[in-house]
Amino acid sequence: MQILPPQKTDYGFYNGYVYKVQDKDLITALKENWQAVETLANGLSEEQLRYRYDTGKWSIKEVFVHLIDAERNFNYRVMRISRGDQAQLPMYDVDLLVRNAHADDRNQANIMQELELLRKATITMYEGMHPSMLDITGPARDVTISVRALGFATVGHVIHHINILNERYLKK
């Protein structure tokens, strides 16, 4: 089953993520997105992984752990919404989660393995969905969003952070 991008509408906070991924099937986008993360991460030294481009900014390892946290959060919302749960879920403090994850003390191979397994779980979740579940909507932050749009937001969120890593950390 192909999962095409959602209809253009206002997804509030998620707009910048959803609309970074257009004209692609979601499963293809999720797989290519993982490959981009893996390519970026391969070959980075421990010094690069701990680099912060400014005081108070996350290290590259912390960015990768943030990607894990965010994808888990998106997937939890997808699971709840796709099954008809309309409860408003609380936002989470991204800085608090990153600060308490101790990413810089973790082995990079372990971080990447966790991110890869999570991405495989995301792909499997979407591949196993009945097509009728994709356009079920529910609350997320200050908007109503579909399961389909959250999938594309997952990919777009990673693209957003890859761009930041390339522009501010790795200066590509």
Residues in the chain: 172
Per-residue pLDDT tens over the stretch 103-160 = 999 999 999 999 999 999 999 999 999 999 999 999 998 899 999 999 999 999 999 9
What's the chain's average pLDDT? 96
pLDDT band for position 22 (cuts 50, 70, 90):
confident
Radius of gyration of the chain (CA): 16
Per-residue pLDDT tens over the stretch 39-65 = 999 989 999 999 999 999 999 999 999
- Whether the CB-CB separation of 158 and 64 falls below 8 Å is answered with no
Domain extents in the chain: 15-169
Q: Is 15 exposed, middle or buried (0-12, 13-18, 19+ CB in 10 A)?
A: middle
End-to-end CA distance of the chain: 36
Write out the CATH class of domain 15-169.
mainly alpha
In sequence order, the 6+-apart residues with CB closer than 8 A to the CB of 29 are: 21, 152, 155
pLDDT band for position 172 (cuts 50, 70, 90):
low
